[in-house]
Amino acid sequence: MFIALLYYVSSPYRSTNIQANIKLGSIAEKDIIAPFEFYIHKSPEILAAEQEEAASKVLPIYQVSENLRFNAQKNLDFIFEQFIGDDLTTMDVRKILRRRGYDLSPEAVTILINPENRQTIYQYLTEQISKVLQIGIYPTTYKNHKIKVKKNNRIVEYNLSRLYSMQEAKSKIISGNPDPSYLPAIMEISNIILIENVVPDNEFTRLEKQKAREEVPVTLGKVLKNERIISKNKRVTANELLKLNSLIRAQNEMKTSRSKNELLTTAFGVFLFTLFLLGFFFFIIAEFFGKNNVTLPQIILVMVSTSLAIVITVLIHSVFTLPALLIPFSLAVFIVTLAMRTGIGIIYNFFLMVLVALFLNWDFLTPMMLAFATLGGIFAIHRSPRQVYYPVALYSAATYFVINLCITIIFFDSLSTMSTRLIYGLVSVTISISGLMLLMPIAERKLKLPTKQILLELLNFDSPLLKRMSQTTPGTYHHSLIVGNLAESAAEAIGADHLLARVGSYYHDIGKITAPQFFIENNPNSADIHDKMLPHESASVIRNHIREGIALAREYSLPESITDIIAQHHGTSFIRYFYNKAIINKIQFDDADFQYFGPKPQTREAVIVMIADIVESTTKSLDSITEETVHSILDVSIERLISEHQLDESPITLADLSKIKQAMLPIIMGIYRKRLEYPEENPLQ
């Protein structure tokens, strides 16, 4: 219901957009009719090409540079300043000019040394060069017949005849020479001073090109209301696809809304779809992983994790409109994986991918990439002996890099697109791992989840309950450790949760610490106590260690799966010693007084602990141990449990039971095999 409400609020159908997943050349599945009049927009590629073509036709804009005209006058003044001085010879002046970078011939220098000549030529050149440069000398590289020149912030188009070429400028200056004798000096100075001062104006040229781009029409025409855009069962053409994309664009700009009834109907469909997905998910878990994985804490965990993932998806995609690859998709999957099993995490990964795709308007590419990256993290969780996060981040990032590379190759994407996706994906993984480190400890404690980290902490011999057991009931403590070894080996043999089996074994008899004197492994004289009690009283004390164990497990906040093993490790079997004693003494009794409370084992781990508990207790009571004896104990114990229907409610199979026997046998033999007697003269060998 919560997810359906989120969809109602963020539904893409709030706008009446025609969303058609149609590609060029595909066959249309239905007719698409224009619901209103709209313009056909050119594709971004076509529009960009036309704009660049228009910009390329813009001629460069030039300007007559005042700075260059001023520099020419400065150079002229500088040359003539070198002639000022007493008793300067032609050779002296030429040397001075050459040092300054000006090389005038002796003839020209001789003409200019004369003050009257110099004054006349200076005035003439100043006037003529200023006139020529004011009109402008265009570049010799310019090839067009016309040129655009900026004057007074206006662009004026000139024929080249209205400007000077360099040769024309020199001819103009020479032709007005007042005295033929001045010609050598005027020509040489003109060659030095004159400069092309019609130069490109890059800023104005850029503005003109941009103006040309903006003047290119963005539309091709108009589609009228009720006009057919695409015909059913026809191949989609480029023009039709252009019209469809223009319609979708127009719809987004109009932002028309559907009615509330339509939105509610859509939200109800999402409710049914989500209900089906989650129901199917839990059915698969119960069927393939056991009903113990569909407990209230696990259901709450999956619901909260899923809701969290969808809320973040809506915020990133719909509210903040950020790239969907930034969604920390892996966070919810990693929480479920650590709290349950890696196999369950893999299944949940793909169920969540479908739900996230729903909120991305059925865009599967993004959640698919994130889901495959998450698979790498799940693999790291499965391989890691402890609950550490850096391998999860490393494997997720590496897997994401590979899938990103594959997508890039498939879609011919550029390296920049690949790099952008890579950055977004790495941010998603980083946020997921950071959120996991923050939220996982809270989930573990609040829901009492049997995560790898919690189970490893419970295996610590300094944990409160184990320490109390070792001090109060050392016999039970030693028994539990051996049962743990047997259970772990058997669980590994059949693919059960070996860590859970070991921890369950350590705590299965924890209830005995409330009355250790009644149990023979803690008190060799316990038989004397029971001899003074009626059989049903003794049975009541013995079976009460189950209730006390459950109470202690809840007091110390043990995971529910450990509490279940404590409750189920005797099932509903009889306490046979006192049951038979009551029969022999012909005491009136009710069978229920000699039965454990149950329930019968519900999981493979609980069955393993039950078998290990029986086998260890029975084997320990024997004086001599042989392989045949242990074989017999295993066979008899398992056959009795089957005949008493103690295994009926568990997912254990006969093949599993055979593997359990094979796994337990060498461990029992290793623990209880008698040591060889060495000769006394070599006691250290």
**CA pair distance 622, 611, nearest whole angstrom:** 17
**CA pair distance 183, 200, nearest whole angstrom:** 33
Give mean pLDDT, residues 362-372.
93
CATH code for the domain in which residue 600 is found: 1.10.3210.10
**CA pair distance 422, 418, nearest whole angstrom:** 6
Pinpoint the alpha helices (H) of 176-319. 183-193, 202-214, 238-254, 260-289, 296-314
- Among 629, 607, 476, which residue's Cα sits nearest to residue 545? 476
SS3 for 224?
coil
Q: Of 370-374, 387-391, 517-521, which gets the smallest average pLDDT? A: 387-391
Helix and strand counts by DSSP (H, E) for the chain: 28, 8
| Pair (497, 633) in one structural domain | yes
Q: How far apart are the first and last CA of the chain?
A: 74
CATH code for the domain in which residue 338 is found: 1.10.1760.20
DSSP state, residue 225: T
**Does a structural domain hold residue 682?**
no
SS3 for 257?
strand
**Does a structural domain hold residue 542?**
yes
**CA pair distance 93, 84, nearest whole angstrom:** 9
At residue 15, the pLDDT reads 54
SS3 for 352?
helix
| Pair (480, 590) in one structural domain | yes
Q: Judging by DSSP bridges, how do beta strands 154-159 and 146-151 pair with one another? A: antiparallel
**Does a structural domain hold residue 683?**
no
What is the CA angle 365-367-373, rounded to 5?
105
Whether residue 254 is predicted with pLDDT greater than 70 in this model: the reply is no
Residue where a domain terminates, one of 449, 481, 497: 449
| Pair (599, 465) in one structural domain | yes
Q: Which tokens belong to 606?
A: 């609980």
**CA pair distance 320, 346, nearest whole angstrom:** 29
**Does a structural domain hold residue 238?**
no
Q: Each residue of 51-99: pLDDT tens digit?
A: 899 988 888 888 888 888 898 889 888 888 888 876 778 888 888 888 8
At residue 599, the pLDDT reads 92
Q: Each residue of 86-95: pLDDT tens digit?
A: 677 888 888 8
| Pair (378, 507) in one structural domain | no
**CA pair distance 30, 20, nearest whole angstrom:** 10
**CA pair distance 582, 596, nearest whole angstrom:** 16
DSSP state, residue 149: E
Q: Each residue of 411-469: pLDDT tens digit?
A: 888 898 899 999 999 999 999 999 999 998 888 777 777 778 888 889 998 889 999 99
SS3 for 574?
strand
At residue 309, the pLDDT reads 95
**Does a structural domain hold residue 67?**
yes
Question: What would the 3-class secondary structure string for 125-142 be?
Answer: HHHHHHHHHHHCECCCCC
**CA pair distance 390, 429, nearest whole angstrom:** 11
Q: Hey, what amino acid is at 14?
A: R
Counting every residue written for the chain, the total comes to 685
Host domain of residue 439 = 295-449
**Does a structural domain hold residue 227?**
no
- Give the model's confidence band at 489: pLDDT under 50 very low, under 70 low, under 90 confident, else very high: very high
- Among 537, 530, 676, which residue's Cα sits nearest to residue 593? 537
Q: Hey, what amino acid is at 357?
A: A
At residue 685, the pLDDT reads 31
Whether residue 173 is predicted with pLDDT greater than 80 in this model: the reply is yes
| Pair (312, 434) in one structural domain | yes
**CA pair distance 188, 562, nearest whole angstrom:** 107
| Pair (441, 579) in one structural domain | no
**How does DSSP assign 284-303, residue by residue?**
HHHHHH-GGGSSHHHHHHHH
- Give the model's confidence band at 19: pLDDT under 50 very low, under 70 low, under 90 confident, else very high: low
**CA pair distance 109, 114, nearest whole angstrom:** 9
What is the number of alpha carbons within 13 Å of residue 661 lying toward its C-beta? 18
Please report, for residues 80, 82, 147, 338, 592, the alpha-carbon distance to residue 85 in angstroms, rounded to integers and kept in the order given.
Answer: 11, 8, 46, 98, 137
- Give the model's confidence band at 665: pLDDT under 50 very low, under 70 low, under 90 confident, else very high: very high
What is the number of alpha carbons within 13 Å of residue 683 lying toward its C-beta? 1
- Give the model's confidence band at 13: pLDDT under 50 very low, under 70 low, under 90 confident, else very high: low
Residue where a domain terminates, one of 420, 449, 478: 449
Per the structure, the count of domains in the chain is 3
Give mean pLDDT, residues 183-195.
87
At residue 683, the pLDDT reads 35
Q: Which tokens belong to 9?
A: 């609020």
Whether residue 153 is predicted with pLDDT greater than 80 in this model: the reply is no
**Does a structural domain hold residue 399?**
yes
**CA pair distance 277, 309, nearest whole angstrom:** 15
Give mean pLDDT, residues 466-488.
93
**CA pair distance 119, 116, nearest whole angstrom:** 5
Q: Each residue of 127-151: pLDDT tens digit?
A: 988 888 888 888 888 777 788 888 7
At residue 394, the pLDDT reads 94
- Give the model's confidence band at 684: pLDDT under 50 very low, under 70 low, under 90 confident, else very high: very low
Q: Identify whether the C-beta of residue 602 lies closer than 8 Å to the C-beta of residue 646.
A: no
| Pair (370, 478) in one structural domain | no
| Pair (486, 573) in one structural domain | yes
- Give the model's confidence band at 673: pLDDT under 50 very low, under 70 low, under 90 confident, else very high: low
SS3 for 123?
helix
Q: Identify whether the C-beta of residue 556 lies closer than 8 Å to the C-beta of residue 585.
A: no
**Does a structural domain hold residue 178?**
yes
At residue 474, the pLDDT reads 92
**How does DSSP assign 416-458, residue by residue?**
HHHHHHHHHHHHHHHHHHHHHHHHHHHHHHHHT---HHHHHHH
At residue 289, the pLDDT reads 81
At residue 14, the pLDDT reads 64
Query: Considering the chain, what percentage of its residues have pLDDT values greater than 70?
Result: 95
Whether residue 655 is predicted with pLDDT greater than 80 in this model: the reply is yes
| Pair (468, 342) in one structural domain | no
Residue where a domain terminates, one of 209, 229, 261: 209
Residue 233 CA to its chain's centroid (Å): 39
Q: Judging by DSSP bridges, how do beta strands 32-33 and 228-230 pair with one another? A: antiparallel
Q: Which tokens belong to 466?
A: 């184990």
At residue 257, the pLDDT reads 54
| Pair (177, 204) in one structural domain | yes
Facing residues of 212 across strands?
A: none
| Pair (430, 562) in one structural domain | no
**Secondary structure E strands in 563-623:** none
| Pair (314, 179) in one structural domain | no
**CA pair distance 445, 300, nearest whole angstrom:** 14
At residue 255, the pLDDT reads 55
Query: Considering the chain, what percentage of its residues have pLDDT values greater than 90?
Result: 38
Q: Of 113-117, 370-374, 470-474, which gets the smallest average pLDDT? A: 113-117
Q: Which tokens belong to 350?
A: 């793909």
At residue 675, the pLDDT reads 42
Query: Residue 83 contacts by C-beta under 8 Å, 6 or more apart in sequence?
Result: 93, 112, 113, 118
